Structure 1
């Protein structure tokens, strides 16, 4: 089958590889659509920390935001999965440690991550193998575009839950990329007053078209009370900025990752009684996101600018905008 493979920083393309086989406990999914994420870009550039920590190595088959149809199952898997449209978890725990036993497989020290960690091939391919326990059924009311937005939606929903905002609360989301915009959409659906903060440019201009209460650059940010702040950016400076801006007793949620360490004075948190929460993985919220999408609480499709074939992925990872793409931040890939 055809798969997109990164062989070294800046070097990638389509290769013919052996198709996955449904081993015991796993299913093979024919991929309908997959998303390109900032993590994929970091692997393409060689900046991803897992490459330096030994958790990942080239060659790599990327892709962890996806949906498709189950076409084969291994021993021990209910054959009722065959023909079902699904998406699935990225974080695949060992299944036997204390964290996995407590439902925190996304924190398992021995986990693999689809298309990211431990050599588990990803979904930028015609087919992908996934443990059946990691699958989530997609209702027929959700199209493939929405299905491939479940994984980023899970990260965003977890961030909003951690921010604990609702009716009458004012939230500032830093970073108007896919996760930041989805978080803003989930928070708005909960009745919060939602503002976004970003750099001058196309991403911030696009955010201004989505009807939020405010979209600001550093030069424009008003002096308002921020009950919670979600940092969905890649800036090493914004966690400290969030500490300066959040109301005493408020909450800061960090879901974005910078390429270099962030320096924050912890005394600011202590003296203002601020709660700081880190979010890793969509895993605990995937089911809730599917329900929210199906119920019309949030429609993520407006964020998808266009789709390309596997042969267009290298250009996307290199920063090229596909011809005719819309203004949204997300690019999807169709494997066929």
Structure 2
């Protein structure tokens, strides 16, 4: 089968590789659609932290935002999974440690991360093998486009949940990338007044098209009372700025990661009685995200700017923008036999 392989910083190619086989407790999924995210770009550039901690190494087969159809089940797996449209969890814990038994497999010290950590081949390929325990069914109300946006949506759903927004609250989301915009959509679904902070007019105009109440730069941000700030950027200075902006007694949620260390003054945190929450993974938010997509409360599909073929990915990772791409931040790959929809 064909799969994307990153062989070194700045080097990626499509290779013919062996098809996966479903081991005990596993399934093989025919991937229909997958997404590219910032983590994938960092693997291509060589900046991804796991490359420097020993949790990942080249060559690596990336891809952790996906939707597909189960085509093979391994020993011990219910055959009812065959033919099911599914997506799956990225974080695969050991299943035995204290964290896993408490439902915190996404922070298991021995976890694998699909297409990211521990050498587990990812979903930017025609097929992928995953544990059946990681699967989530997709209803007919969640098409392949939305299905491949469940993983980033789970991060956003958890971020908004952590913000503890009530209808009428005012929420500021910093960083209008995929996660930030999904946070904005989930916050609007929760009844909040949502504003977005960004840099480029193109990204801010796109945020406005999604129905946010305001889209601002740091220079134009109005002096308003923010009941929650969700920091979803990669800017090292914005975590501290988020703490400055949020109302005393309210919440800051940190879901973005900068490429260099960012700092906050914990004296400000304590003296203003602010609650700060960090969000690592979509895992506990996957089911709720699928429900939100299925009900129509959140529609993530406008975020997809273009859908390309697997062969186009090396250029996309190198920074090429597909011809005719829309204004959204997300690039998808179609692996359906009939070609790109």
TM-score (norm 2): 0.97
Q: CA deviation at 1:271?
A: 0.7
* In 1: Cα distance, 2:320 partner to 2:166 partner: 38
Q: CA deviation at 1:230?
A: 0.3
Q: Which residue of 2 aligns with 1:329?
A: 329
Q: CA deviation at 1:250?
A: 1.1
* In 2: Cα distance, 1:287 partner to 1:162 partner: 16
- Please state if 1:169 is matched with 2:154: no
Listed one character per residue, the Cα deviations across residues 227-274 of structure 1 (whole Å, up to 9, x for unaligned) are: 110000001100010111111111100000000000211111011001
Q: Which residue of 1 aligns with 2:235?
A: 235
3-state SS, counterpart of residue 57 of structure 2 = coil
Q: Which residue of 2 aligns with 1:304?
A: 304
Q: CA deviation at 1:200?
A: 2.4
Q: Which residue of 2 aligns with 1:15?
A: 15
3-state SS, counterpart of residue 270 of structure 2 = helix
3-state SS, counterpart of residue 4 of structure 2 = strand
TM-score (norm 1): 0.99
3-state SS, counterpart of residue 158 of structure 1 = helix
Ranges in structure 1 where 5+ consecutive residues have no aligned partner: none
Q: CA deviation at 1:296?
A: 0.7
- Please state if 1:119 is matched with 2:143: no
Listed one character per residue, the Cα deviations across residues 161-181 of structure 1 (whole Å, up to 9, x for unaligned) are: 000112121100000011101
3-state SS, counterpart of residue 291 of structure 1 = helix
**Where do 1:39-118 residues align within 5 Å?**
39-118=39-118
- Please state if 1:128 is matched with 2:128: yes
3-state SS, counterpart of residue 156 of structure 1 = helix
* In 2: Cα distance, 1:335 partner to 1:60 partner: 19
Q: CA deviation at 1:185?
A: 0.5
- Please state if 1:28 is matched with 2:59: no
* In 2: Cα distance, 1:200 partner to 1:82 partner: 45
On the 8 A contact 1:28/1:72 being kept in 2, the answer is yes
Q: Which residue of 1 aligns with 2:339?
A: none
* In 1: Cα distance, 2:296 partner to 2:166 partner: 18
On the 8 A contact 1:166/1:187 being kept in 2, the answer is no
Q: Which residue of 2 aligns with 1:267?
A: 267
* In 2: Cα distance, 1:127 partner to 1:168 partner: 45
Q: CA deviation at 1:201?
A: 3.5
* In 2: Cα distance, 1:200 partner to 1:125 partner: 33
Q: CA deviation at 1:308?
A: 0.6
3-state SS, counterpart of residue 331 of structure 2 = strand
- Moved >6 Å (runs of 4+): none
3-state SS, counterpart of residue 332 of structure 2 = strand
**Higher mean C-alpha deviation, range 218-227 or range 205-214:** 205-214
**Where do 1:266-285 residues align within 5 Å?**
266-285=266-285
3-state SS, counterpart of residue 21 of structure 1 = coil
Listed one character per residue, the Cα deviations across residues 41-63 of structure 1 (whole Å, up to 9, x for unaligned) are: 00000000011011100000000
Q: Which residue of 1 aligns with 2:137?
A: 137
3-state SS, counterpart of residue 153 of structure 2 = helix
Ranges in structure 2 where 5+ consecutive residues have no aligned partner: 337-341
Residue-pair matches, total: 336
3-state SS, counterpart of residue 130 of structure 1 = strand
* In 2: Cα distance, 1:322 partner to 1:298 partner: 26
Listed one character per residue, the Cα deviations across residues 141-199 of structure 1 (whole Å, up to 9, x for unaligned) are: 21110110100000000000000112121100000011101111011011101000001
Q: What is the aligned-residue RMSD (CA, Å)?
A: 0.7
* In 1: Cα distance, 2:293 partner to 2:192 partner: 18
